[in-house]
């Protein structure tokens, strides 16, 4: 793994160069063999009982949340600490979670129709996220799946979205949405063939003291808009933007962040200058990892951006395959967009 990280610590695409550090020890936890085996047995028992239910079923989610209490104590302790206070890096890497097998081929169209074919990893991810918050999803995106497939799709290589394979710019996930996810998890089932696709993150906490006061003031002005992802508006639809919003909000010494370095527009020149200063600072503070099967990366979407370096898909059934799951601290604010007991938000009205 160390050799892979050293080989992948510099990426340049179309003049954009990223350098990044490996995840720090204090933001990483590795399950040992006994812990992994105990978790696998618990998940397999759950899969037998729950395999015929939809993931968007409160009974299933309740059972998963109860089962999560049986996760290794030191993992639970780290998850609860991250939920309550976060950390200065805005991310947490969990390694050696059980994946199960044999896995089906990487979904060609970016969608696994039957979750029990990847039951162990699906339930492991839901269990982790149930400790961190309440799982949530969006009907516009990935068919409203609570656990979604992130893999390359033929013909979409150059899209700035998760179906592409070129460098994916740093962004807050679904920053345009009124009820954006607050926590994101990415679990690796398969790495890319060359093991060069690095997932990178950067936290506003790590760069706040480096930014001049004039930049911070401009970033707090509601003079920015984020273009909706095509998964929400369609490939052929007219571009749609969020209402004007600030990049930074909340306390001066611990702000929330909402930014997209590809899809964000500014309405004032001083805002554009501040935006570029923030981009430079966060690009210089990247943490990155080439995810391996069993790795689960949690990103605090309230304070951190994430992105991905490019890779070359082969579309041979063995391509890079991650699974993604969202969570929020409180479900109540989004209740007007969800059916009773459902975790899936209906499409946002135009």
The per-residue pLDDT string of the chain (350 residues; one tens digit each, 9 = 90 and over) reads 333 233 334 544 444 679 999 999 999 999 999 999 999 999 999 999 999 999 999 999 999 999 999 999 999 999 999 999 999 999 999 999 999 889 999 998 889 999 999 999 999 999 999 999 999 999 999 999 999 999 999 999 999 999 999 999 999 999 999 999 999 999 999 999 999 999 999 999 999 999 999 999 999 999 999 999 887 876 666 788 999 999 999 999 999 999 999 999 999 999 999 999 999 999 999 999 999 999 999 999 999 999 999 999 999 999 999 999 999 999 999 999 999 999 999 998 64
Query: What distance lies between CA 33 and its chain's CA centroid?
Result: 26
* pLDDT (0 to 100) of residue 3: 30
At 106-133, the pLDDT tens digits run 998 889 999 999 999 999 999 999 999 9
* pLDDT (0 to 100) of residue 101: 84
Instruction: Give the contacts of 261 (CB within 8 A, at least 6 positions apart).
Output: 169, 170, 171, 279, 305
Token pair belonging to 137: 């999803």
Helix (H, G, I), strand (E, B) or coil at 24: coil
Question: Element (H or E) spanning 270, and its range?
Answer: helix 269-283
Q: How many whole angstroms separate alpha carbon 171 and alpha carbon 158? A: 16
**What does the longest C-alpha to C-alpha distance in the chain come to?**
58
Chain position carrying tokens 């037998």: 48
Could you give all domains of the chain from N- to C-terminal order, each with its CATH number? Answer: 26-331 (3.60.130.10)
In degrees rounded to 5, what are phi and psi of residue 263? -110, 15
Residue 209 burial (C-beta neighbours within 10 Å; 0-12, 13-18, 19+): exposed
* pLDDT (0 to 100) of residue 239: 82
Query: pTM for the complete prediction?
Result: 0.94
């Amino acid at each position: 793994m160390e050799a892979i990280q050293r080989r992948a610590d510099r990426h340049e695409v179309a003049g954009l160069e990223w350098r990044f550090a490996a995840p720090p020890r204090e933001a990483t936890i590795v399950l040992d063999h006994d812990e992994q085996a105990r978790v696998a047995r618990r998940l397999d028992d759950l899969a037998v009982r729950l395999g015929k239910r939809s993931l968007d079923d409160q009974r299933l989610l309740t059972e998963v949340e109860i089962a999560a209490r049986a996760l290794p104590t030191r993992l639970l302790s780290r998850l609860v600490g991250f939920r309550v206070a976060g950390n200065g890096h805005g991310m947490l890497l969990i390694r050696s979670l059980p994946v199960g097998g044999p896995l089906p081929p990487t979904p060609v169209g970016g969608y696994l129709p039957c979750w029990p074919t990847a039951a162990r990893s699906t339930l492991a991810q839901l269990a982790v996220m149930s400790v961190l918050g309440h799982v949530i999803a969006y009907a516009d995106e990935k068919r409203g799946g609570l656990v979604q497939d992130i893999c390359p799709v033929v013909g979409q290589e150059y899209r700035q979205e998760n179906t592409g394979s070129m460098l994916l710019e740093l962004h807050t996930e679904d920053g345009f949405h009124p009820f954006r996810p607050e926590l994101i998890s990415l679990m690796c089932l398969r790495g890319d063939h060359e093991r060069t696709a690095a997932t990178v993150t950067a936290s506003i906490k790590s760069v706040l003291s480096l930014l001049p006061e004039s930049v911070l003031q401009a970033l707090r002005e509601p003079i920015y808009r984020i273009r909706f992802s095509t998964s929400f508006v369609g490939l052929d639809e007219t571009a749609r933007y969020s209402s004007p919003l600030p990049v930074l909000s909340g306390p001066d010494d611990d702000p929330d962040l909402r930014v997209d370095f590809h899809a964000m527009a500014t309405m004032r020149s001083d805002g554009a200058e501040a935006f570029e200063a923030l981009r430079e600072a966060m690009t210089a503070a990247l943490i990155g990892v080439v995810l391996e099967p069993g790795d689960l990366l949690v990103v605090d979407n309230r304070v951190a951006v994430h992105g991905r370096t490019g890779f070359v898909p082969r579309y041979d059934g063995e391509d890079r395959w991650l699974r993604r799951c969202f969570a929020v601290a409180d479900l109540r604010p989004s209740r007007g967009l969800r059916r009773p007991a459902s975790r899936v938000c209906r499409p946002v009205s135009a």
